[in-house]
Structure 1
Amino acid sequence: MDASGDPREDAFRRLYAAHFDCVLGYALRRTSRAEDAADVTAETFLVAWRRLSHVPVGDGARPWLYAVARRQLANQRRGELRRRRLGERLRRDLSVVVPDLSDQVVQDHVVDAAMSRLSARDEEVLQLHLWEGLEAREIGEVLGLPGTVVRPRLSRARARLRELLGNDPPGAGHIQDKQPTPIREDR
């Protein structure tokens, strides 16, 4: 018995120490991702803890643990199937509501090049305004700044972009044929 003085805990610790590697190996050989095998192993030993009085003593413990792990694998596969089916159903439902424009999306390299020459701060303000269709007050909410700070910043950013493009950028609102570029850190 260990320092805790609990015979149940001591029995579980011995079971865990003796069979953890075998159960993990069993799960690793039956899953494609190590984290899935780790989940199966953890769930198996959770069941073993809860049903410790049902775990056979001696040579019968490992097959019993494998049977529990087998059921945990089946539960995991059913859950993954449910998630995949739900995802497919959501994509199908969304395709009716929001048409897939991915084939129509074309990068505007001139605007991309001009935007990339701006500071990260100017680029972020312009993306929020031009691509997301936000006004200065709303941009301020996103950035945690008052609208009085955002308005001149937006005006200066538009002027810098206009100078780089040689004309006005498109009007506010989501640009359908433009994929957002990741926001860069300040240079």
Structure 2
Amino acid sequence: MTHRDRFEAVYDTYYPAIYRYAARRAGSPDDAADVISETFLTLWRRIGDVPEGEEALLWLYGVARRVLANQKRGASRRAVLAERLRSELAAFRPVKLIDLDHVRTAFEELPERDREVLALACWEGLTGEQIAKVVGCTAIAARPRLHRARKRLAAALERQASLTIAMGEA
């Protein structure tokens, strides 16, 4: 049996069980879909390590469990980042505390490139030089990139605050 045939056999047999497992535990249908796809991607990559018979289902449950744990850690890191960014921005200028949802919305408005450097700086605690290595640019280029990303986040937060005031929620 080829690796592809083995993968298809395991997938066809155990997809419903992994689907139910992920759907019951994930926070949303999108998160469940991510768990399922990552679990079966791992199956594809490690098909030679997968035990035979029903042991394969237990192996897949273990993979799905780890994927879910990684998702939860990621969500936790994002929440920590939002709080950290709010604190950092509050230190630059006196403003009333911004609702965490406004920070999240402002962060999500940013281009992926800005979110990445901000996340590397705040979540991972990387320096400008370390960020440069991760994103593949020079340290000289990374520092202003981070600075501009912070400025764009501040502007996005200002827009969020203005919208809140305009809508009478503040």
TM class, shorter-length: 0.5 to 0.7
- Name the residue aligned to 2:144: none
Q: Unaligned stretches of 5+ in structure 2?
A: 99-157
Number of equivalenced pairs: 104
Q: Which residue of 1 aligns with 2:45?
A: 50
Runs of 4+ in structure 1 deviating by more than 6 angstroms, as ranges, are none
Is residue 58 of structure 2 the alignment partner of residue 70 of structure 1?
A: no
How far residue 56 of structure 1 moved from its aligned partner, in angstroms, is 1.1
Partner of 1:80: 75
Q: Does 1:100 align with 2:96?
A: yes
TM-score by length of 2: 0.55
How many Å separate the matches in 2 of 1:34 and 1:67? 20
Q: % of aligned pairs identical?
A: 44
What pairs up with 1:1-187 in 2 under 5 angstroms?
Answer: 7-98=2-93, 99-100=95-96, 179=163
Equivalent residue, structure 2, for 1:150: none
Query: CA shift at 1:58, angstroms?
Result: 0.9
Partner of 1:123: none
- Structure number with bigger Rg: 1
Deviations 1:44-75 (A, max 9, x none): 11111111011111111111100010011111
* SS at 2:51 equivalent: coil
Pair 100,49 (structure 1): closer, same or farther in 2 beyond 3 Å: same
1:13 corresponds to which letter in structure 2? E
1:91-111 CA-partner distances (Å, limit 9, x unpaired): 111122241387xxxxxxxxx
Please report the TM-score for the alignment, with normalisation by the length of structure 1.
Answer: 0.50
Change (3 A) 1:53 1:94: same
- Structure 1 residues without counterparts, runs of 5 or longer: 2-6, 103-173, 183-187
Task: Give the AA of the match of 1:61.
Answer: A
Higher relative helix content: 2
Cα 1:65/1:92, change in 2 over 3 Å? same
Corresponding residue SS for 1:24: helix
Q: Cα RMSD between the aligned structures?
A: 2.5
Deviation at 1:39, TM superposition (A): 0.4
Task: Report if the CA contact (8 A) 2:90-2:97 is conserved.
Answer: no
The amino acid across from 1:55 in the alignment is V
User: Aligned partners of 1:60, 1:101: CA distance in 2, in Å?
Assistant: 52
Q: Whose RCO is larger (CA < 8 A, sep 6+)?
A: 1
Residue type at the aligned position of 1:100 = K
